[in-house]
Amino acid sequence: MIHRQEVHAPGGPADPGTIPLAVPNIGQAERDAVLHAVESGFVSSVGPAVAAFEDEFARRVGARYAVACTSGTAAIHVALVLLGVGRGDDVLCADFTFVGSVNPIAYVGARPVLIDSEPGTWNLDPSLVAQELDHRARAGEPMPAAVEVVHVLGQPAQAAEILEICQRYDVPVIEDAAESLGAGWSGGALAGRQTGAVGRIGCFSFNGNKIVTAGGGGMIVTDDAHLAARARHLTTQAKVPDVGYLHDEVGFNYRLTNIAAALGLEQLRRLDEFVSAKQRIAARYDEKLKDLPLTTPPRVSGMDSTYWLYSLLLDDPDDRDPMLEHLAREGVGGRALWRPLHEQPPYREARTVGGAVSESLFRRGVSLPCSTSLHADEQQRVVDAVRSFHSR
Ligand SMILES: *Cc1c(COP(=O)(O)O)cnc(C)c1O
């Protein structure tokens, strides 16, 4: 979901008049680490930064093991293979998410079953998951091979409820935490836990638009030593160590490079700073826009959202495109939210449970600039632009 215009160094935008939606925040420590990796000769997928990144990442999210890979999409692909998901299987997945959540389900030949969001967190609705699993149990139909929970926009899903339902039917849960690094729970059954570290396998992304970037990259986390070892094996072409070119199954070239890991590790060390910045920006937007005919992002007690991509819901869906045009004219880089997966050409035939909430989020949603480096005066320009649209 990154646009070319957003990939530029802070302070050097192509069009200095436009406030970009979100740009990476790359500092001197990151530059030094990348240069060091280049000069060390460890440029590819062997090198000390990869293991260091994995170790620090596992500790940061509270998982026992972390395995670095080339993208968030690759992480989800490997997670599905690890769970033995394949042809003929169903996988329940959020309908309202970026397409990278669901494509790996198609890669392994399985069928996504698209489940609507609940309006409280904009994420997978536990009552619809329960309805689907209960229905299958009663009808004697096979259970899905996995349930994929996504924590969209930095907002934790109602994972405790979903984990409980899935446990009842012995269905493994994969978390797509690509957008929610640093988010977690401070209340309820998961208090003290981080998104991505509560399911069987958690998947993260370090694409340029995520809160921590490695240029590109992903991470697979789990508490299961066997799954972690197998993830490492699968991401490195299933090569058997110390035996000449022996590959004992079909593997992938999905290992993260040392250069990317060096960048990702230094970015990870700034995660708290980035989360604070996102939360500060969100609080300011909430305060300055609360009287307008719109809904600000979820604020749920016991759930600590990072507000990775600050997004509003306009009361009137007919306002969305005119609002985006108005913002563009005012030099503000706004963006619509995702079209629900059940409306995407490759997934139109997928079984869908509900769908009215995801459609409403898509038709009403507008994301606002929220780079961690956004200055207060720039943010005020965004606020003024949103307000002037409503006072037209
Ligand atoms: C970015 C993203 C992905 C894919 O990650 P990549 O690293 O871009 O492959 C998957 N799911 C969600 C929700 C994302 O935002």
Q: Give the Cα separation of 217 and 13 in Å (integer).
A: 24
Provide the mean pLDDT of the chain: 95
- Residue spans of the chain under pLDDT 70: 1-16
Q: What percent of the residues of the chain are helix, what percent strand, and what percent coil, each to the nearest 5?
A: 40, 15, 45
Q: How far does the centroid of ligand 1 lie from the alpha carbon of residue 235, in Å?
A: 17
Report the side by side order of strands in the sheet with 335-336.
294-295, 311-314, 365-367, 335-336
Q: How far does the centroid of ligand 1 lie from the alpha carbon of residue 198, in Å?
A: 19
**Structure tokens of 36?**
């060091």
pLDDT for res 392: 83
* Under 8 Å between Cβ of 63 and 184: no
Q: How far does the centroid of ligand 1 lie from the alpha carbon of residue 89, in Å?
A: 22
Q: How far is CA 300 from the centre of its chain?
A: 19
* Under 8 Å between Cβ of 182 and 306: yes
Q: How far does the centroid of ligand 1 lie from the alpha carbon of residue 148, in Å?
A: 13
List alpha helices for the chain, DSSP H: 28-40, 48-61, 72-82, 103-107, 126-139, 159-168, 225-235, 258-268, 271-289, 320-329, 356-364, 376-390
pLDDT for res 16: 60
pLDDT for res 15: 56
pTM score of the predicted model: 0.95
Ligand 1 in reach of 72 Cβ (< 6 A): yes
Q: Give the Cα separation of 385 and 118 in Å (integer).
A: 30
Of 200, 202, 204, residue with least CA distance to 179: 204
pLDDT for res 304: 98
Q: How far does the centroid of ligand 1 lie from the alpha carbon of residue 298, in Å?
A: 21
* Under 8 Å between Cβ of 258 and 44: yes
Ligand 1 in reach of 262 Cβ (< 6 A): no
Mutate to test the pocket of ligand 1, among 205, 263, 306 (most ligand atoms within 8 A of CB): 205
Q: How far does the centroid of ligand 1 lie from the alpha carbon of residue 1, in Å?
A: 8
pLDDT 10s digits, 62-114: 999 999 999 999 999 999 999 999 999 999 999 999 999 999 999 999 999 99
Q: Give the Cα separation of 81 and 249 in Å (integer).
A: 12
Cα dist. 195→225, 263, 275 in Å? 19, 22, 14
Given the structure tokens 């969305």, which residue do they identify? 320
* Under 8 Å between Cβ of 255 and 237: no
Ligand 1 in reach of 207 Cβ (< 6 A): yes
User: What are phi and psi for residue 340, nearest 5 degrees?
Assistant: -55, 150
- The 8-class DSSP code of residue 177 comes to -
Ligand 1 in reach of 205 Cβ (< 6 A): yes
Q: How far does the centroid of ligand 1 lie from the alpha carbon of residue 26, in Å?
A: 20
Atom 10 of ligand 1 has which residue's CA nearest to it? 100
pLDDT for res 17: 84
Parallel, antiparallel or unpaired: strands 90-94 and 311-314: unpaired
HEC readout, 294-356: EECCCCCCCEECCCCCCEEEECCHHHHHHHHHHHHHCCECCEECCCCHHHCHHHCCCEEECCH
Mutate to test the pocket of ligand 1, among 179, 201, 309 (most ligand atoms within 8 A of CB): 179
**Structure tokens of 3?**
């646009």
Ligand 1 in reach of 195 Cβ (< 6 A): no
Q: How far does the centroid of ligand 1 lie from the alpha carbon of residue 204, in Å?
A: 8
* Under 8 Å between Cβ of 131 and 115: no
pLDDT for res 2: 44
